Amino acid sequence: MSKERARRRAEREAERARQAALRAEREAKLARRRALVGRVTALLPRRPVRIVTQGGIIARRRRAQNGAVALLFAVTQVIVWLLWSSWMARFGAFVLSLLFVPLFVTLVFDRRS
């Protein structure tokens, strides 16, 4: 009876040793993989920091207003480009548009008055 128990104990210990060897091999493989990934990612450029935009109603309104101004500016430039073939006229319209955009924004979107 004691020989049988000794044999089973030896089998259990052998199985534990085999499991420990497998676990050590997996951990070593994982450590090698992590080291390789670390070396590769060190070579890659870092991602820029993401800028979080405000989500309030005032921020959304401001973004909508800026989008409307940019769209109006682009539409104006396309119309001028299509109507006039003179480069001086196109350039003059561009400069005037740049000068009138702040005036337009102040007159239309200013809420202080």
Amino acid at position 88, single letter? M
Categorize the per-residue pLDDT at 27 as very low, low, confident or very high, splitting at 50, 70 and 90: very high
Contact between 96 and 109 under an 8 Å Cβ cutoff? The reply is: no
Output the pTM of the full model. 0.50
Is the pLDDT reported for residue 30 higher than 90?
Answer: yes
> Beta-carbon neighbour count of residue 24 at 10 Å?
10
- Domain residue extents for the chain: 1-51, 57-109
pLDDT at res. 47: 79
Residue 35 vs residues 43, 44, 88, 93: alpha-carbon distances, Å: 13, 15, 62, 59
Give dist(CA 12, CA 107) in Å, integer: 86
Tokens at residue 40, please?
């590769």
Over residues 20-44, the mean pLDDT reads 92
Q: pLDDT tens for residues 34-65?
A: 999 988 888 888 878 777 777 788 888 888 99
Is the pLDDT reported for residue 113 higher than 80?
Answer: no
The phi and psi torsions of 24 (rounded to 5 degrees) equal -65, -40
